[in-house]
Amino acid sequence: MNTQRFLYGRIIIVLMLAFLLVGTAITGSAQEPQRGGVLRLAINPIEGTLDPAFSSNNPDATLSHSVYDFLIEPLPDGSIAPNLATDWTVSDDGLTYTFNLRQGVTFHDGTPFTSADVAFTFNRLLDEELGSPALDLLSSIESIETPDDFTVVMNLSAPNPDFLSAGVGSRFTLILKNGTEDPNDPAQIIGTGPFVLTSYSQGDRAILTRNENYWIEDQPYLDGMEHIYVPDTAAQAEILRSGEADLIYSVPLELAESLAGEEDVEVVTAVGSQHTVVRIHADEGPGADPRVREAFKFATNREELNELVLFGRGTVANNDPIAPSFPDFYPGDVTTQEHDPERACELLAEAGFPDGLSGMTLEAPDSLEIPTLATLLQQQWAEGCINVDINIVPVSNYYGSDQWLDTPLGITGWGSRPSPQVFLDTSYASDGIWNESRWSDEELDALIEQARTTVDVDERAAIFARIAEIFNERGPVIIPYFQPGVGAHRSNVHGVNLHPFVGLTDFRTVWISE
């Protein structure tokens, strides 16, 4: 492909899309919200469990967030707000967090909400046998006390600067009813949330109705929601166009451009730390040599990828997961590898590949812009003496079977997180639950551990800056860009405030006009 000609061919589309998407993170109306109506959301099917302790993807998080509530709410701007906890205090030494709970709240079956439900939920997440990703995020909890029905005290073993935002406010911590045996059983999905799950058919749809006894007066505005499971984003767009669906999200930008031209469709965006990781296994094979890892970086033109894949709307990254949406910690002055295919070839020759690297397959999910990214990477890398085949895998198979963890060379889409620490703990620490690159680096591990307990913002920023340098020097990952989350809805849908991790979008204040 002549990528320069391809780039020129998209200039007009980029300008159109920029015009159409400016200021669309929140949509609404000056009108008073109307009650009633059922919102039809077309979304990918849920693959795996319904248990919120394992909410890894948007479809399962969307369902869980509709029927359960958080103790504290993770907001789209990265901050947190009271939810089932009305307020909280932190001891001077940073080791004791005391939460005061909202009174008068009931579960969908009429059972009163108390501190016992909070303790049950968090103790369950701390159970190593359960194996929830939340375990790493909450590992600093030493004990949980419930001195009365509406007070919860969490005692930590060490100060944790992200305990509220990335721990208590993580997407896994939705509050279950005390004694729930199997949250994967639709009959046991009983929360305090704005909607009640009345019907669930795997791979087909979920039907939810308004919780008439919800603790926020007059919310939700909707009578209910219907989650329509459609595995293909193009098909989702078609049923939105036809009026068979009211809202879709996780929309590829190229598809968003076409939707933005529809008379009765509005496009919404959200900016966070969402990004795509291109990585190679670092424990064996070619990726075990840091020179090969660096060759991949020199062979990659990240600026061009941003223009061609994201229409220039992304933010070019530093090959590490610390995003500009973390302004206190973003290392903006890191010097990364400029696009230099000749240097890539030289590094491969030094690493024992004088004729270039071949025989590897780049595996990627059929999700959003990732197939396009894979094709462009194949073309760019070929100029840098790296010749790979491509295997595009259905997204449900790729993530559902852990294929993404096992493939030696792959691409992964990561949703936004409330702190860079979450990415580092789960994906780049040697013992991270999702260490997809199989990277083990002693200096990196020590810095990740240090950042986990450093409360001073400036000191922590310095740690993250060194971590970014390590990624650049010897990391087995390429993060080309941070991309916006994109959704689209019918023009009679109002109040959509898209969350960067779109599965956490709040539907309590969404309403439909006549």
Three-state SS sequence of 39-67: EEEEECCCCCCCCHHHCCCHHHHHHHHHH
Residue type, 126: L
What average pLDDT does this structure show over 466-489?
94
- CA distance readout (Å), 363 to 409, 410, 475, 497: 6, 5, 19, 33
DSSP category for residue 176: P
Q: How far apart are CA 466 and CA 334, in angstroms?
A: 9
Note the pLDDT of residue 400: 78
The average pLDDT across 140-168 equals 95
Q: How many CB atoms lie within 10 A of CB 321?
A: 25
Amino acid at 422: V
- What mean pLDDT comes out for the span 479-502? 92
Q: Is 19 a residue whose pLDDT tops 50?
A: no
Cis peptide before 133 (omega within 30 of 0): no
Give me the pLDDT at residue 30, please: 55
Q: Are 70 and 78 in contact (CB under 8 A)?
A: no
pLDDT of residue 12: 35
How long a stretch of residues is the chain?
A: 514
Going by pLDDT thresholds of 50, 70 and 90, the confidence category of residue 17 is: very low
What tens digit of pLDDT does each residue of 194-234 get?
999 999 999 999 999 999 999 999 999 999 999 999 998 89
Angle, in degrees to the nearest 10, between helices 290-298 and 457-474: 90
CB under 8 Å to 259, separation ≥6 — which residues?
237, 240, 241, 251, 265, 267, 488
- Is the Cα dihedral 167, 202, 259, 220 positive or negative? negative
pLDDT of 27 reads 52
Q: Which two tokens stand for residue 233?
A: 């984003």
**Residue 31: which pLDDT band, with cuts at 50, 70 and 90?**
confident
**Predicted local distance difference test score (pLDDT) of residue 335:** 86
Nearest in space to 192 (alpha carbons), one of 64, 117, 105, 118:
105
β 96-101/85-90 pair status: antiparallel
Walk me through the domains of the chain, giving residue ranges and CATH numbers: 69-168 (3.90.76.10), 193-271+488-512 (3.40.190.10), 275-482 (3.10.105.10)
Q: Extract the tokens encoding 19.
A: 């015009």
Mean pLDDT across the chain = 91
Asked if pLDDT for residue 49 goes beyond 70, the answer is: yes
Q: List, for residues 283-322, the tens digit of each pLDDT value.
A: 999 999 999 999 999 999 999 999 999 888 788 999 999 9
317 within 8 A of 480, measured Cβ to Cβ = yes
For residue 2, name the pLDDT band (cuts at 50, 70, 90). Answer: very low
Average confidence (pLDDT) over 109-138? 96
Query: For the chain, how long is the longest CA-to-CA vector?
Result: 71
Exposed / middle / buried, residue 44 (Cβ in 10 Å: 0-12, 13-18, 19+): buried
CA distance 401 to 246: 31
Using the predicted structure, report yes or no on whether residue 7 has a pLDDT greater than 70.
no
29 vs 148 pLDDT, higher one: 148
pLDDT in the model for residue 449 = 93
Q: In sequence order, which residues have a C-beta less than 8 Å from that of residue 398 and are 6 or more positions away?
A: 363, 364, 365, 366, 367, 404
pLDDT class of 345 with cuts at 50, 70, 90: very high
Helix (H) or strand (E) holding 297: helix 290-298
| Residue 13 in this model has a pLDDT that exceeds 80 | no
Nearest to 257 by CA among 369, 350, 393: 369
Task: Please check whether residue 191 is in contact with residue 125, taking contact to mean a CB–CB distance below 8 angstroms.
Answer: no
What is the token pair recorded at 310?
């994201």
pLDDT at 153 over 80: yes
Q: What is the pLDDT of residue 239?
A: 95
What is the Cα–Cα distance from 134 to 125, expressed in whole angstroms? 6
Q: For residues 53 and 40, give the distance between their C-alpha atoms in angstroms, rounded to a whole number.
A: 25
- pTM of the full structure: 0.74
**Cα–Cα distances in Å, from 276 out to 11, 247, 322, 324?**
23, 24, 13, 15
- For residue 465, the surrounding DSSP H or E stretch is helix 457-474
Q: What is the mean pLDDT of residues 111-136?
A: 96
The burial class, CB within 10 Å (0-12 / 13-18 / 19+), for 220 is buried
pLDDT tens for residues 32-46? 899 999 999 999 999
Which of 18-32, 134-148, 376-390, 414-428 comes out lowest in average pLDDT? Answer: 18-32
Distances (CA, A) of 47 to 43, 74, 364, 397: 12, 24, 17, 9
- Which of 439, 440, 373 has its CA nearest to residue 411? 373
Report the alpha-carbon angle 127-131-133, nearest 5: 105
CA atoms within 13 A on the CB side of 43: 25
- In this predicted structure, the answer to whether residue 416 has a pLDDT above a threshold of 70 is yes
E strand map for 25-121: 38-43, 72-74, 80-82, 85-90, 96-101
Structure confidence at residue 325 (pLDDT): 85
Coil, strand or helix at 247:
strand
